[in-house]
């Protein structure tokens, strides 16, 4: 019996630290940013500044560079329920209320000055923490991410995705009973915090998993990078506790084992920006910030299941059980004529189709199957449907596969 889970998700961002994944609140935890001079998108003395004194042209980069600003994880995000915005670029300017606005009208309410543009320094090395919980009261299942096992799906064959799968020693072909692999697509184990066992990924890993880089062009003709424009990403979290041929999964204590798979769906042609206001002197003076970045929205999916005796009775032991059985197992046509039909020419196959009033389209295999479904060749007795041989056995296939009884 399957039911959809109820899910809650919390995401947070942290700047790079030394030691890795330590808490910035800890006095022994230090920030570990790269130098501005080592970041190719930042303005450095080797670049030529433009008139705005915030942007510059650098010989090694085709997009406009900007001055870079260090921020921490809290200062570099906007957090909403189930969503987070990871800032990559900010446009900040001062606004002053026009004192001339009054009874006679107003031609310009806010007067703008002091514009500054900044890239967020070393954002690829920031880490995104994902904390989530799942439950279904009807099934009696409730788990936090500390009690579940998860994977990140690298779903593609882009060069960056191949590099990610080959460079990670946890790459597997499947999230359950998979084999070790060095090729994409693959499933990767998330990093885990020492204290709570929560999942986290670097921004670089998330971008590579999508086959993207912040240095890539936002969209054709934009003239700017994803770092400048931002992008929209859906973070799907697929939950499951059953597996084909295994039924309900159990841990060492016999408890239902819930697993999940993260997958990322980018919409890079959809830039993202969020704005906020900081009043320095209310209501006359304020600072407005337009923040571009990676908008990440968590979306749960999947189903949880348990063995249920009532479901078994409904399927197999009611008065109409034969009908349920026929719905589960499709009986194929008689295949005894296949060899004779295969030996015929295309013209002969077309003639048989014509005689039986069948469509003469499709591939040769589809045409032969059509003849079989219509009773096969005339010299065979097809009054009885094909039956299972007594030595045959039924097999359970994964969802979506067709099941057939063959002679």
pLDDT in tens, 6-51: 999 999 999 999 998 888 999 999 999 999 999 999 999 999 999 9
Q: Which long-range contacts (CB under 8 A, 24 or more apart) does 399-407 make?
A: 399/244, 402/330, 403/328, 403/329, 403/330, 404/330, 404/331, 404/332, 405/329, 405/330, 405/331, 405/332, 406/332, 406/335, 407/334, 407/335, 407/336
pLDDT in tens, 207-230: 999 999 999 999 888 889 999 999
Judge whether 377 and 363 are in contact, CB under 8 Å.
no
* Distance, CA of 70 to CA of 86 (rounded, Å): 14
Question: Which pLDDT score, from 0 to 100, does residue 14 have?
Answer: 96
Question: Which pLDDT score, from 0 to 100, does residue 318 have?
Answer: 66
Task: Using the predicted structure, report yes or no on whether residue 352 has a pLDDT greater than 50.
Answer: yes
* Distance, CA of 365 to CA of 369 (rounded, Å): 6
pLDDT in tens, 294-330: 999 999 999 999 988 877 777 666 656 666 666 666 6
Task: Using the predicted structure, report yes or no on whether residue 141 has a pLDDT greater than 90.
Answer: yes
Question: Which pLDDT score, from 0 to 100, does residue 203 have?
Answer: 98
pLDDT-wise least confident of 170-184, 194-208, 237-251, 368-382? 368-382
| 2-305: CATH, from 1.25.40, 1.10.10, 2.60.490, 1.10.3470 | 2.60.490
Q: Higher confidence at residue 34 or residue 391?
A: 34
Question: Which pLDDT score, from 0 to 100, does residue 257 have?
Answer: 94
The DSSP line for 201-231 is EEHHHHHHHTT--TTSBSSTT--SBHHHH-E
3-state DSSP percent of the chain in helix, strand and coil, to 5: 15, 35, 45
* Distance, CA of 116 to CA of 238 (rounded, Å): 41
Strands 199-202, 191-192: pairing kind:
antiparallel
Task: Using the predicted structure, report yes or no on whether residue 85 has a pLDDT greater than 80.
Answer: yes
Band of residue 388 on the pLDDT scale cut at 50, 70, 90: very low
Rg for the chain (alpha carbons), in Å? 31
pLDDT in tens, 110-128: 999 989 999 999 999 999 9
Region 79-86: mean pLDDT is: 94
Q: Higher confidence at residue 389 or residue 50?
A: 50
Domain spans in the chain, listed from the N-terminal domain onward? 2-305, 329-405
3-state secondary structure of 189: coil
Q: Higher confidence at residue 335 or residue 288?
A: 288
Task: Using the predicted structure, report yes or no on whether residue 391 has a pLDDT greater than 50.
Answer: no
Give me 65's structure tokens: 């560079």
Length of the chain, in residues: 407
Taking alpha carbons only, the member of 1, 25, 27, 29 closest to residue 12 is: 25
Band of residue 135 on the pLDDT scale cut at 50, 70, 90: very high
Question: Which pLDDT score, from 0 to 100, does residue 325 have?
Answer: 60
Question: Which pLDDT score, from 0 to 100, does residue 269 have?
Answer: 87
pLDDT in tens, 69-79: 999 999 999 99
Compute the mean pLDDT over every residue in the chain, rounded to the nearest whole number: 87
């Amino acid at each position: 019996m399957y039911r959809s889970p109820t899910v809650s998700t919390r995401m947070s961002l942290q700047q790079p630290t030394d030691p890795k994944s330590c808490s910035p609140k800890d006095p022994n935890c230090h920030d570990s940013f790269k130098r501005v001079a080592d970041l190719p998108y930042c303005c450095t003395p080797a670049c030529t500044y433009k008139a705005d004194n915030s942007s510059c042209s650098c010989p090694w980069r085709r997009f406009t560079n900007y001055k870079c600003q260090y921020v921490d994880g809290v200062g570099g995000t906007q957090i909403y329920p189930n969503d987070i915005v990871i800032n990559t670029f900010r446009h900040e300017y001062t606004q002053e209320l026009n004192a001339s606005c009054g009874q006679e009208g107003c031609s310009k309410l806010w007067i703008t000055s002091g514009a500054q543009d900044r890239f967020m320094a070393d954002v690829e090395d920031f880490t995104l923490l994902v904390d989530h919980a799942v439950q279904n009261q009807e099934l009696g299942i409730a788990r936090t991410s500390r009690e579940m096992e998860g994977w990140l799906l690298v779903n593609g064959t882009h060069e960056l995705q191949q590099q990610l799968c080959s460079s990670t020693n946890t790459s597997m072909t499947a999230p359950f009973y998979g084999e070790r692999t060095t090729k994409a697509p693959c499933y990767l184990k998330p990093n885990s915090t020492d204290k709570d066992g929560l999942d986290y990924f670097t921004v670089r890993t998330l971008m590579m998993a999508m086959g993207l880089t912040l240095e890539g062009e936002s969209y054709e003709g934009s003239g700017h990078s994803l770092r400048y424009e931002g992008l929209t990403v859906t973070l799907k979290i697929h939950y499951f506790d059953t597996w084909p041929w295994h039924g309900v999964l159990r841990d060492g204590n016999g408890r239902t084992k819930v697993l999940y798979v993260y997958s990322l769906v980018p919409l890079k042609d959809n830039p993202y920006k969020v704005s906020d206001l900081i009043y320095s002197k209310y209501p006359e003076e304020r600072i407005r910030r337009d923040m571009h970045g990676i908008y990440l929205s968590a979306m749960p999916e999947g189903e949880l299941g348990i063995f249920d005796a009532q479901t078994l009775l409904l399927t197999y032991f009611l008065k109409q059980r034969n009908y349920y059985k026929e719905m589960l197992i499709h009986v194929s046509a008689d295949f005894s004529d296949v060899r004779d039909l295969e030996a015929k020419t295309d013209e002969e196959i077309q003639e048989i189709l014509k005689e039986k009033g069948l469509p003469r389209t499709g591939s040769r295999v589809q045409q032969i199957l059509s003849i079989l479904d219509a009773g096969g060749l005339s010299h065979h007795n097809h009054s009885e449907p094909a039956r299972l041989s007594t030595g045959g056995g039924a097999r359970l296939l994964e969802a979506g596969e067709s099941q057939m009884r063959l002679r």
